[in-house]
Structure 1
Amino acid sequence: MTSTSLTPQSAIRQQTAVSRFSAEYRTDTPFVAEPRPRLSWVAAAESTDWLQTGAELRLTRGRTVESAGHAGPESALVEWPFEAIAAGEQVAVEVRVSGNDGGTTDWSAPLTLVGGFVDGPWQAEAIGLPARAGEETPLGQPGQLRHEFTVGEGLAKATLFATAHGVYQAEINGTEVDDQILKPGWTAYGDRLNHETTDVTALLAPGANAIGIWLAGGWFTEKYGFHGFAKPFYGEQPALKAELHLEYSDGTRETVASGPAWRASTGGPLVSSGIYAGEAFDARRAEAGWSEPAFDDAHWLPAAVEVKDTWAEATPAIAPPVRRIEEVPVKEVLTTPAGATVLDFGQNLVGRLRIRVTGEAGHTVTLRHAEVLEDGELSIRPLRQAAATDSYTLAGNAAGTGGEEWEPRFTFHGFRYAQVDNWPGALDPAAITAVVIHNDMRRTGWFECSDPLLNRLHENALWGMRGNFLALPTDCPQRDERLGWTGDIQVFSPTASYLYDSLGFLGSWLRDLALEQGRRDGVVPIIVPSVLGMLTSPVAAWGDAATVVPWVLFERFGDTGLLRRQYSSMRDWADALLKVRDSSGLWQGQMQLGDWLDPAAPPDKPGAARTHGDIVASAYLFKSLDLVAQAAAVLGHGADQGKYAALAEETRLAFLAEYVTPAGRMVSDAQTAYSLALMFGISTDPSQRQALGDRLAELARLGGYRIATGFVGTPLIADALTATGHLDAAERLLTQTECPSWLYPVTQGATTIWERWDSILEDGSVNPGEMTSFNHYALGAIADWMHRTVAGLAPAAPGYRKLSIAPRPLASLEYAATSHETPYGLARVAWKRVGDRILVDATVPPGTTAVVSLPDGAPAFDVGSGQHGWDVPAAAPAAGRGTPSLDTPLADIMDDPDAYAAAWQAIDAQDPAAAAAFRKDTVWYRQTTLDESLLFTPPAVKEDIASALAALGDRRSASTPENS
């Protein structure tokens, strides 16, 4: 036999393959939520400049096989080309891809898909727990439901569909049906319910079988509201609907549905459960075998059946479910001044504790959670009315077995510290583990650089997202709130879309936003789901989530279908704003939350920002009108495009006439005002934009490069400075460690993003404001600028079909790198300093191109897929600063970090309080000297400052090349 070499065609096939193939939006289950799910695939190609030219899809349906061609380069969210998948139907689909290299891949591994929706109305009745005889049933009373049924021979498939007004977990024959928790999550219950679809075939056997349900109130029965006025919003008791569909090999079908034949108990071990309160579990009350057949349930009562079914339609969940994601061990065991035992897990996280304990029956262990310590004790004031306390009462029968193991089922807490009370015997820290929970999204974004503080800042933004992407995008995970504030996710959605594949998660939440909006004549509530009933008029930056978040998801994921689905919501919000727009074309004269938590705002007045609320409102009016026009253009709605573009232009011109002077000053001479005008595209004239940017940079320096923006301005200011040639000022803001700044919390040990810039004051005490959280992702929106600018990776076309590679090295960094799993594969940009050069490396995924703008200022150029590298000169170092003195202008002192440090440290050596005032209160003017600013400073201190500055000058002179 003679050997033959590979032909070019087969060689190409070996080099190119389909590396990932999925259906929208979930990848953790074969069940699909849509009959015609869109498909996505990623090609791994070794050749450079590779582009897809077409693809072929092959569907196996029973014994039939059919194929469909797909022309062109698109491989993300491709429309389903076959007949719709029927409810419960199982199909297999494969793809092979052709490229511009002339090759075609082998067929991908088959992707199994099953119609995960119910065909027709549910047969299940809504059932709940019986009332306690002779006593008042507590709000949200948890309990158990069970039912026995018979399975015949020849079972081919069994599928469980379940949803709840509350939270549930199902067991069949003693085994939990899946690893999901807090099902079915929180939606706008009055309009939409999620249901899970679970294959339980393997849990059943011919003959007697049983299903058991743990049930609690969760979000459905929780009390919502502040200042002691919280009350239930949805209902007072939980209920469930469940259907078990049985399919036999002979084609017959049966349905086991919840109804009056089911039995219920509130006497089980789950004594109480609440999202805010925590959970109490008494293991002595557990009944072995309760979810198995032949269990004696004569002492149980008939399930309560809801007489009037007012439930919203249940549809399959499109967001990935909540799961246990990670386990964190105890880092340190502390004894507080009061003698309490507190566990420090070293990371502020969201989840609960799993314990293993041995002791006598009836002994109760209590676990209380908090994010920080104050005066050495657990700081519970920031939790407000949330008890955040779990308790476990031992059964006492685990001696010699390693102990009783328990983890709360239907609650979660935001915490770094946990106080353990009444532990039997000596506490072994290995007996307690923190279990991190959140929606099980796929991680897609990474960043690192040479500054450990910036790395920790980025990690804090990541952990903040993890803790607050639980069922819906919440503001905080610990206190008596945990609500879907629309403003928070509006500003954070770009960062969220980079760090995780959050398309299904945010797409699900946007459905609720549109439903809640539909009840309010187009006005988007400030939280979704809406349970507070406050601020019924439009609120800028919060309601604008209706336009901003869908557009961000379109930019980052290329999801035209989601944009089309949300378009009416976007337009309705714009129309609601037009009703409050005045005759000048602006949005003025209404209460606004504005630039929320501007650091200048008093603790008890978080909306009292330096930028006037009318400026914020009018800027967002323009933004939303403009986004509706852009969405209309994408979707082919020509008339709407023209209408809303014209309205946006009217508002833009009115904004400039009302709020911007001819010299390029804003009426609110504040950083957020300038950032809005620049980054929303309100100011378009180059000379005016430069004037605005110059003033913004001056304001940053006048404030000592301490942050001066709140929720609205913080995501914009670094971009606004960069776009107008002030990268150095953006860098000073980013790397500032004095309060307020992004890095101040990092220096205070923060492991998540704080709600306030000073949630912990400089004296170590907790901010006295009523509203103080240590896990709020909004201010972490700066991470998106770190990805796009510091490292240099961004989308240049929707869904990263074309990348932007534009690193802008910060002078204080030696390297930075970022990578992102785009819909087309992994993209990466990294740069590092080598001598006086900047080396840039980039990975462009197959099927995409990139526009490259290198930091040397050369014209931008395009490249194709593959690995790329460039070597460019680094920016010339700043001119020698010479010797500063008391006669140096304050602006020059502030722009010379070494001189600034020498000055305040000289004051600090004599008078720490005066040094703190010098750093915090000085306005760093251009026309005022350092000496003039020290009007009331003792002469001896001035002499020390002068000496310190002179010594700095001497060191600089000694280090110049001619003196080396």
Structure 2
Amino acid sequence: MPTTVHSVRAEYRTDSPWIAAARPRLSWKTETTAPDWTQRGAEIEWRRGEAAAVAHVEGRDSLFVPWPFESLLPRESGSVRVRVHGSDGTASDWSEPLHVRAGFLNEGDWHARFITVPEPADIGQPTLLRREFTVREGLRSATLYATARGVYQVEIGGVPVDDEHLKPGWTAYRDRLVHETTDVTGLLRPGPAAVGATLAGGWYTEGFGFHGQARPFYGKYPSLAAQIVLEYDDGTTELVATGDGAWRATADGPVTASGIYAGETYDARRARTGWSSPGFDDSTWLDARPDLARAMTPVARTAPPVRATEELAVKEVITTPSGRTVLDFGQNLVGHLRIRVQGREGDTVVLRHAEVLEHGELGTRPLRHAKATDAYTLAGTGVETWEPAFTFHGFRYAEIQGWPGAFDPGDVTAVVVHSDLDRTGWFSSSHDELDRLHENVVWGMRGNFLSVPTDCPQRDERLGWTGDIQVFAPTASYLFDCDGFLASWLEDLALEQTEDGAVPFIVPNVLEWARTPAAAWGDAATVVPTVLFERFADRDVLERQYPSMRAWTDHIAAIAGPRRLWEGRFQFGDWLDPDAPADRPGDAKTDGDIVASAYLFRSATLVRRAAAELDLADDAARYRALAEEVREAWVREYVTAAGRTVSDAPTAYALAIMFELVTEPATLEAMGERLAWLVRRSGFRIGTGFVGTPLIQDALVRTGHAETARRLLLQTDNPSWLYPVTMGATTIWERWDSMLEDGTINPGEMTSFNHYAFGAIADWLHRTVAGLAPLEPGYRRLAIAPVPLAGLERAEAAFETPYGRAEAGWEEHEGRIVVHATVPANTTALVTLPGAEAREVGSGEHRWTIEDPRVATPRALTLESTLADLIEDAEAHGTVLRAMASADPERARQFRRETAWTEHRTLAGELGGVPKQVLTAVETALDDLNARRQR
């Protein structure tokens, strides 16, 4: 195959030609069958009409290459194409041209003013706005720039201008708004014209808060700012903008109520045909009222917008014990329902949403104060189709009330809605439950990457909790191309920081009390930019966020003071440790101070690395010294001479190992042994919360306990990663036991069935189980280092790196392990296989066959065997439990959950006092197992 260039892009967005920068960075990928191919140089052509310019780039750079031409002007358009030259002397053909349009405005070009609903009006009252104008002959182009304090859609002549939802999304409204840029030329003709906008409150007027105390944070009324720039062949330009006194408004539209948490109410009897077309009678409408809130100039969108990306049909129609009709879509999702219905004028269909059923009925308690209910009142004009426009729900189940006539499940469709990110990463294995776990992570990210990275999408919260994305960012950056999405969110994080550098719990911040600094939450300021640099090689994000990174770290260092320990303050700590009581989710086994000071060290280290990358030598030296002072203080305060931590819990050891707080080899080995011991003692059930969960598997493998990590991963008892899968979960739960074994919802007030934090395990599946990881920023150099696990016959990962598709994986074959890898052009890989020296390889397809490192000979087990030996042998452990359950199910359940699996106790000793039939059943089962193994 000849060398080809593809996937040329300017800045972040791939869904639109509109770009937000006057000097957009360019990226491209190369595909070739030539082995060990690297780029020697490239040519970039910029063409506008007949005029073209060509720039030359020397070297391997093909990612975020600086714009080599003159800065773009607003609405300027042209095409970019690339041709590369290889180290082997070959040259590619020119790539397909990338159409580029400048979507930003220069300073002073924004003339629109915000307009809103006429008074009096209810808080968040949905509104219709319209304006008529005239289009002259010779229209060359028409460009709409629009934003809202709230959510909106614009239509011209009855046609929506795009397919985006919930525009402009949620940002730190007091400091930053984004605008969409849309080509509307095709919707206009010479003569009379009209533009209309539907406006609702969305996040801007939503009430935020807990325990029934929610209040609007930003404002009472939504408002719109928009301008259409009409450009003619004669070189003249006209502007149609809000705030010019010609806009009319009414609150008497079909959307009668709308809220993010409450849902949407639509009365089709109030719909007015032609209201966004010229000639519509708006005599009953009033002049739109200026919004007197602080004037603000929006900036061009850089992140992908929210769109509908998939539709799901009803999987099952359920009649509940109370006689209600509930639809099961088979997948917990985020979005809304589309209905097709026919009935009498005034009939009202009510749609209630929830993630789970409890006792056969819709499980709405976890929604707290969110109504999550939509209602549609029919016009009675035949078959009517409707879907809400300005709300979203997290649900798998929907209850249907008031459906006129016979119900047909084909008349209801679930529409999946989220930020329209490109999928980039995949994982598969021979283990069905593990694959379902990974799929649950994907769905969890889809549902919670909706404008901002939220904690959950269903209850009266849906906030951008910083702790959740801090732990999940590495997984997110593999599954989807989220660089632009998170880079935009980080701008809001920096804006929401206090003057002294504190980062709030949530971004955008709508809770005044959330400004208290908390470890692992505020550290999103340092961790997320670092992840974007490591995974996407986005150095600009690192540079832009560096003041924020430094301010956060300095703030915490000041709190720590001369002791260099962050102690005695409020902390979330290892949030949702599985041993924490349902009503006290922060009561973790690991002390919050241990977590806090560990994260101070972590952030100081990341700022030091960023400073070095940005050539800030003095800062690098300063934060290196700070990090070392914190590390020494942490070890001195929390680590004993024998390698124990003060909180003798898995998270404490995982922090010490993975953050490299402990560097002395003997102590590190002791900590790894203790961590593995703790995991084994608990019967390989997970013992970590938000902080420890993303670290524990890496900590075990790094210290030589891959088998322990395997048992922890494949555990199905509660709590574990796979326990929710066995309970039918299709997303990641907030709590390890959001649903209890008897099918009841966890009694805690805070229970969600769609939280991605514990889904951070997926990053370990990609990097370690399949063996595909970045070794240099942007995957320019990969690490291929699979760890084959017993219980799996194969595992593989595929990832669309910024350089091209990479793959890595392994499979059993005739008693050996075959490892395969695909290294993209213009990259290299360091390959580390079990039992072999590391080797460097170039681009291309690679295969290696190695001895199976997992081969082990099981020992004979008896009643005199230790509990540690029994739990280490998964087959024997299962055999004993099944034997006990056959004789005494309740005793077997207690034995499974309450036993401490240590080397100091024997099976016979643990079973002392049990009925003879139980002891006999266990002994017989072990004898049978030993006999089978000998054969």
**Interval of TM-score (by shorter of Structure 1 and Structure 2):** over 0.9
Q: What do the CA deviations read for 1:325-358 (whole angstroms, capped 9, x no partner)?
A: 0000000000000000000000000000000000
Specify the alignment match of 1:819 in structure 2: 798
Paired letter, 1:52: Q
- Secondary structure class of the residue paired with 2:496: helix
1:227 equivalent among 208, 211, 227: 211
Residue 962 of structure 1 corresponds to which residue in structure 2? none
Deviations 1:589-642 (A, max 9, x none): 111000000000000000000000011001000000000000000000000000
The structural deviation recorded for 1:309 is: 4.9
**Paired residue for 1:334, among 313, 318, 321?**
318
**2:924 paired with 1:940:** no
The partner residue of 1:797 within 776, 791, 814 is 776
| Counterpart amino acid of residue 835 in structure 1 | E
Q: Residue 787 of structure 2 aligns to a residue in which SS?
A: coil
1:910 has 2:910 as partner: no
Name the residue aligned to 1:112: 99
Counterpart of 1:304 (choices 289, 295, 300) is 289
In structure 2, the partner of 1:605 is: 584
Instruction: Select between 458-467 and 109-118 the one with higher mean Cα deviation.
Output: 109-118
What does 1:214-613 correspond to in 2, within 5 Å? 214-259=198-243, 260-306=245-291, 308-398=292-382, 403-517=383-497, 519-613=498-592
Match for residue 6 of structure 1?
none
Change (3 A) 1:701 1:460: same
Matched, 1:707 2:686: yes
- Aligned positions of 1:681-696 closer than 5 A: 681-696=660-675
- Is the partner of 2:882 in helix, strand or coil? helix
Letter in 2 for 1:954: A
Residue by residue over 1:128-175, the C-alpha shift from the partner in whole angstroms, topping out at 9 and shown as x without a partner, is: 11124xxxx321000210000001010001000000000000001111
What code does the residue aligned with 1:851 have? L
Q: In the alignment, is the contact (CA less than 8 A) between 1:50 and 1:847 conserved in 2?
A: yes
- Of 941-950 and 496-505, more deviation after overlay is shown by 941-950
User: What is the rounded CA distance, in whole Å, between the counterparts of 1:852 and 1:877 in structure 2?
Assistant: 22
Aligned to 1:3: none
Counterpart-to-counterpart distance in 2, 1:419 and 1:309? 40
Structure 2: which 5+ residue stretches go unaligned? none
Aligned to 1:632: 611
CA 1:18–1:876: 2 relative to 1, 3 Å: closer
Q: Percent identity?
A: 59
Given that 1:582 and 1:588 are in contact with CA atoms closer than 8 Å, whether structure 2 keeps it comes out as no
Q: Which runs of 5+ in 1 are unaligned?
A: 1-13, 960-964
Measure the CA separation in 2 of the matches of 1:140 and 1:460: 35
1:228-250, Cα deviation, whole Å (9 max, x unpaired): 11100000110000000010011
Residues 912-950 of structure 1: CA deviation (Å, up to 9, x unaligned): 222111101100110111111223422332222222212
1:8 matched residue in structure 2: none
CA deviations on 1:739-766 (whole Å, 9 max, x unpaired) are 0000000000000000000000111100
Give the 3-state SS of the residue equivalent to 1:351 in structure 2: strand
Name 2:41's counterpart in structure 1: 54
Asked whether 1:623 is paired with 2:602, we answer: yes
CA contact (8 A) 2:536 2:777 kept: yes
**Alignment-mate amino acid for residue 919 of structure 2:** K
The alpha-carbon deviation at position 45 of structure 1 amounts to 1.2
TM-score normalised by structure 1 residue count: 0.96
> Larger deviation: 93-102 or 432-441?
93-102
- 1:9 is matched with none
The 1:234/1:535 distance shift into structure 2, 3 A limit, reads closer
The one-letter code sitting in structure 1 at the alignment partner of 2:805 is: L
Q: Separation in 2 of the partners of 1:533 and 1:262?
A: 36
Q: Distance in 2 between matches of 1:472 and 1:914?
A: 47
Structure 1 counterpart SS, 2:328:
strand
Tell me, yes or no, if structure 1 residue 879 matches structure 2 residue 857: yes
- In the TM superposition, what is the alpha-carbon distance from 1:62 to its structure 2 partner? 4.8
Any conservation in 1 of the 2:506–2:514 contact (CA below 8 Å)?
Answer: no
* 2:4 partner SS: strand
CA contact (8 A) 2:354 2:394 kept: yes
**Is 1:809 matched with 2:797?**
no
Measured in 1, the distance between the counterparts of 2:277 and 2:703 equals 69
Deviation, 1:110, is 1.9
- Which string of whole-angstrom CA distances, capped at 9 and with x for unpartnered residues, describes residues 819-873 of structure 1? 0000000000121001221111110000000000112x21100000001111111
Alignment partner of 1:900 is 2:877:
yes
Q: Does 1:90 align with 2:77?
A: yes
Q: What residue identity is the alignment partner of 1:510? A: L
2:902 maps to a residue whose letter is Y
What is the match of residue 697 of structure 1?
676
Say which SS state the counterpart of residue 716 (structure 1) adopts: helix
**Counterpart residue identity of residue 445, structure 1:** G
Q: Is residue 803–residue 850 contact of structure 1 (8 Å, CA) maintained in 2?
A: yes
Question: Contact 2:6–2:96 at 8 Å: present in 1 too?
Answer: no
8 Å contact 1:189–1:312 — kept in the other structure? no
Could you say what secondary structure the match of 2:196 adopts? strand
Partner Cα distance (2:506, 2:107) in 1: 32
Counterpart of 1:297 in 2: which secondary structure?
coil
Cα shift at 1:63: 4.3
- The separation in 2 between residues aligned to 1:363 and 1:427, in whole angstroms, is 14
Paired position in structure 2 for 1:778 = 757
1:740-779 map, 5 Å: 740-779=719-758
Instruction: Determine helix, strand or coil for the equivalent of 1:65.
Output: strand
The CA deviation string for residues 663-703 of structure 1, in whole angstroms up to 9 with x for no partner, is 11111100000000000111112221111111100000000
Equivalent in 35, 38, 44 of residue 31 of structure 2: 44
Which residue of structure 1 lines up, in the alignment, with residue 113 of structure 2? 125
Give the count of matched residue pairs. 933
Taking the aligned partners of 1:538 and 1:311, their CA distance within structure 2 comes to 30
SS at match of 2:99: strand
What is the alpha-carbon distance in structure 1 between the residues aligned to residue 204 and residue 546 of structure 2?
29
- Deviation, 1:876, is 5.1
Q: Work out whether residues 604 and 770 of structure 1, in 8 Å CA contact, stay in contact via their aligned partners in 2.
A: yes
**AA aligned opposite 1:901:** G
1:48-93 deviation digits (Å, cap 9, x = unpaired): 1000011111112354322211111010111111111011111222
Q: Which residue of 2 aligns with 1:868?
A: 846
Partner of 1:842: 821
Does 2:68 align with 1:81?
yes
SS of 1:547 mapped into structure 2: helix
Amino acid at match of 1:188: A
* Local SS of the residue matching 2:205: coil
1:641 pairs with one of 616, 620, 633: 620
The superposition leaves residues 169-227 of structure 1 with CA deviations (integer Å, 9 ceiling, x where unpaired) of: 00011110000010000000000001000000000000100000010000000000000
Equivalent pair of 2:152/2:200 in contact (CA under 8 Å): yes
1: CA distance between counterparts of 2:385 and 2:913?
66
Question: Alignment partner for residue 102 of structure 1, among 68, 74, 89?
Answer: 89
- Assess if the C-alpha contact under 8 Å between 2:80 and 2:98 holds in 1: yes
Q: Deviations over 1:627-659 (max 9, x none)?
A: 000000000000000000010011111111111
Per-residue CA deviation, residues 473-509 of structure 1 (Å, 9 max, x unaligned), is 0000000000000000000000000000000000000
Give 1:471 shift: 0.5
Give distance in 2, aligned partners of 1:454 and 1:404: 42
Which amino acid is 1:597 matched to? L
Q: What residue number does 1:70 align with?
A: 57
Question: Aligned partner of 2:117: which letter?
Answer: L
- Report how far residue 907 of structure 1 moved: 2.1
Distance in structure 1 (CA, Å) of the matches to 2:47 and 2:669? 60
Q: Does the residue aligned with 1:548 lie in a helix, a strand or coil?
A: helix
- C-alpha separation in 2, matches of 1:128 and 1:732: 59
